[in-house]
Amino acid sequence: MPLTIPCFDAPPHRLSGVVYSALLNDPQQVLLLGDAVHQPPYKAPPVHPVLAVRPRNALASDGQAIAVPPGGVRTGPGLGIVIGRTACNVAEADALAHIAGYLVANDLCLPMPGITSHYRPAVRQMARDGFCPLGPLVTPAAAVPHPDDLAITLRVDGLPAWQGRTGGRVRGVARLLSDVSAFMTLQPGDVLLLGITADAPLALPGQALAVTIDGLGTLHNTLVAEGTP
């Protein structure tokens, strides 16, 4: 099922379908890499944002069933930043003015065999059908004055499984947008995911996921076993 692009009351009115996911934006994730960051090919911790592009086949909408293997998936409850104005080399102080709104996201990924693999995640672990559900609505930026202080709750089968906040990241919303725009241009309707936390739990086929961000709504998806009609 293709992504249903939601409309919202701020330019550009529709998402572009281009989604970038910020990796290693949780300080704990960087710490867990340990000495791996000093090994080839990088030989140093990242100093710029590490991004993954979510292809269109990975996008899913609210209520959509997502096929996963028997071992399940690592969940990724988090904040989606919807770009409202072309952002190129934007100063951090001006970054929020380039945001049209925010949405709820669940940045799914196959469980990785080791912590160090997250430094260079395989495409097959992330770019899978439906592994980036978004929605259900885009909340205008004017209605979210403090995007770095929003509560996030993940419920699995109706029960709380994880709670966190959008704050405490290596780069908050404004700095992330600014730093990304320093080396690439973000277009109106693009979505930049703030990134997940190191303690995001696993979920298994048959379970129902609900990600809620205060003031932004709830994103619902059900996991089904691969091969289910």
- Tens of pLDDT along the chain (229 residues) come to 334 444 444 444 478 889 999 999 999 988 888 888 888 877 888 899 999 999 999 999 999 999 999 999 999 999 999 999 999 999 999 999 999 999 999 999 998 765 555 566 667 788 899 999 998 899 999 999 999 999 999 999 999 999 999 999 999 999 999 999 999 999 999 999 999 998 999 999 999 999 999 999 999 999 999 987 7
User: Do residues 130 and 66 touch, judged by C-beta distance below 8 A?
Assistant: yes
Q: 106, 112, 165, 169: which is closest to 134 by C-alpha?
A: 106
Tokens in use for 196? 């997940």
Please give the Cα distance from 126 to 11 (Å, whole number). Answer: 29
How is the chain split into domains, by residue range? 19-61+74-146+167-200
Architecture of domain 19-61+74-146+167-200: Alpha-Beta Complex (3.90)
User: Do residues 132 and 21 touch, judged by C-beta distance below 8 A?
Assistant: yes
Tokens in use for 154? 């993940």
3-state secondary structure of 16: coil
pTM: 0.91
Please give the Cα distance from 194 to 79 (Å, whole number). Answer: 6
